[in-house]
Amino acid sequence: MQDFLEFQSISKGYPGVQALSDVSFSVRKGAVHGLMGENGAGKSTLIRLLSGDQSADNGEIRIEGEAQGYRSVRDAFRAGVIVIHQELQLVPELTVAENLWLGHFPGKGGVIDRRQLLRVVGEKLAEIGIDVDPSAKIASLSIGERQMVEIAKAVMLDARVIALDEPTSSLSSRESEILFALIERLRSNGTVILYVSHRLDEIFRLCDSLTVLRDGKLAAHHPDISKVTRDQIIAEMVGREISNIWGWRGRDLGAERLRVDAICGPKLKTPLSFSVRRGEILGFFGLIGAGRSEMTRLVYGADRRHQGTVTIDGAIVRADNPPQSIRAGMVLCPEDRKFDGIVQGRSIEENMAISSRRHFSPFGILNRKKEAELADRFIAKLRVRTPSRKQDIINLSGGNQQKVILGRWLSEQGVKVLIIDEPTRGIDVGAKSEIYEILYELAGQGMAIVVISSELPEVMGITDRILVMCQGRIAADFARTDFDERRILAAALPDVPTEQVQPS
């Protein structure tokens, strides 16, 4: 089958960073092509070039043998290329239907026929199996529902090339299955799918071929994915063997460090209680909508509690808002790094020091020397990949942004409890193992760590105990010796008899 999409000698540099160097590979018509690599390997840069958001310094992109000289997203769209980014490109205050037809609304003389708009969009969503109200505003949807709307847009516009960047990172298992069915249909229609993911299970399930990038260069190209192994791909990505990505090891647990008693709030009606010991890594698992992130925000004081108390080291603490929680020794790495975790438009140095600078800046006078020393220390300690501490944090990969957030809290004095929501979402296998090592080190120092994750292998791989949430309540409690994938998944599903989920 002929090559349909070609990248020929693509190079792209930014100040202090060579993002891509002479990258060449091609994709056949009707193929699902995987694109893998560590964070910072050049995947996102390649996708931005394909989307028309940026232009290459050297090389060209060809579609059906024709060089594409487009220099804008609109040019790429006209060429039949649609890219669905991790950071979704939707207008929050418009409806689902309006977002799907943005720029080409049905109607005459500039007057939009809204009845026709809702009817056409509703029929199309039903046809492709996406259960979203076309009249709902995007702002009212969950992250997973917004992702499905983006994917529906690409399907409805009959794109020739669709690039999906970590498409299942915010999807439930049901939504993922809908996506996979859509991909199969697009493949049969001859559409080229460029599938960017860190999830090897998805790569092997969906992809016909695979390209691996490392440090901005082509590490490997596999025209037939059936002839490559998982271990080979991991080694190509990181440049070294990783025999055990989780690296869990036992440790002595101390006295109770965190206790949460009967908390509930606007989005979590059933009172919820749990505790974590010194040195313990407690995992929360559940399906999307189970209430895990809502629980996290209540504990941390990001959302107002109707009732309940938080106790640290035997004393009830005021944790009614994030500043109070931080002063009490409890910190959070949020689920949505880009919107809740980092200050965009600011440097790595500023993002690391934003919380702890009060300790070394008396009378409100910033001590820039101390900030620089702090940033340099934790950039080195956490192996943050950056040309400078002055680099804008938005230019870092997801894994390196997560390390900066961790560095912020490691530099904070007196942290006793770390809550980390989706610790490795959108992060490559090499950076994952590094972040897990940081968590083990902190737990070994006596910190109580609460990990919230929708990836069951991750929760089972790195935690000492798992609490399973279902419909806003804790449905089961598993000690590490009782970890069993089938039972844990059963506990996360509504309406499963209790005897089927409790450890034997």
Could you please report the per-residue DSSP string of 178-227? HHHHHHHHHHHTT-EEEEE-S-HHHHHHH-SEEEEEETTEEEEEES-GGG
For 486, other C-beta atoms within 10 Å of its C-beta total: 9
Report which of residues 69 and 228 the model is more confident about: 228
Range of weakest confidence among 29-38, 69-78, 292-301, 493-502 = 493-502
Q: Choose the most confident range, by mean pLDDT, from 124-138, 237-251, 268-282.
A: 268-282
Q: What are phi and psi of 145, to 5 degrees?
A: -65, -40
- Which residues lie across from 331 on neighbouring strands? 418
What span, in angstroms and rounded, lies between the C-alpha atoms of 124 and 73?
A: 24
pTM, entire model: 0.60
Among 202, 199, 208, which residue's Cα sits nearest to residue 228?
Answer: 208
Range of weakest confidence among 86-95, 279-288, 483-492 = 86-95
Q: What is the pLDDT of residues 398-423, one digit of tens each?
A: 778 888 888 887 777 788 999 998 88
Q: What per-residue confidence (pLDDT) applies to 457?
A: 85
* Average per-residue pLDDT for the chain: 84
Range of weakest confidence among 247-261, 315-329, 375-389 = 375-389
Q: What is the pLDDT of residues 3-35, one digit of tens each?
A: 899 999 999 987 767 889 999 999 999 999 999
Q: Where, residue-wise, is CATH 3.40.50.300 in the chain? A: 3-238, 254-329+414-494
Report which of residues 198 and 283 the model is more confident about: 283
**236-258 average pLDDT score:** 82
For 187, other C-beta atoms within 10 Å of its C-beta total: 17
Could you please report the per-residue DSSP string of 286-320? --TTSSHHHHHHHHHTSS--SEEEEEETTEEE--S
What span, in angstroms and rounded, lies between the C-alpha atoms of 56 and 46?
A: 9
**Do 465 and 274 touch, CB atoms closer than 8 A?**
no
Note the CATH number of domain 3-238.
Answer: 3.40.50.300
- 499 pLDDT band, cuts 50/70/90, is very low
Superfamily, domain 254-329+414-494: P-loop containing nucleotide triphosphate hydrolases (3.40.50.300)
Q: What per-residue confidence (pLDDT) applies to 504?
A: 33
CA dihedral angle for residue 336, residue 338, residue 340, residue 342, rounded to 10 degrees: 140
- 243 pLDDT band, cuts 50/70/90, is low
- Which residues lie across from 213 on neighbouring strands? 37, 218
- 311 pLDDT band, cuts 50/70/90, is very high
**91-107 average pLDDT score:** 75
Among 231, 240, 172, which residue's Cα sits nearest to residue 200?
Answer: 231
- What 3-state DSSP class applies to 361? coil
Structure tokens at 322: 């994030």
Q: What per-residue confidence (pLDDT) applies to 496?
A: 46
- Which residues lie across from 274 on neighbouring strands? 260
Q: What per-residue confidence (pLDDT) applies to 198?
A: 80
**420-431 average pLDDT score:** 76
Q: What per-residue confidence (pLDDT) applies to 168?
A: 82
CA dihedral angle for residue 347, residue 349, residue 353, residue 359, rounded to 10 degrees: -140
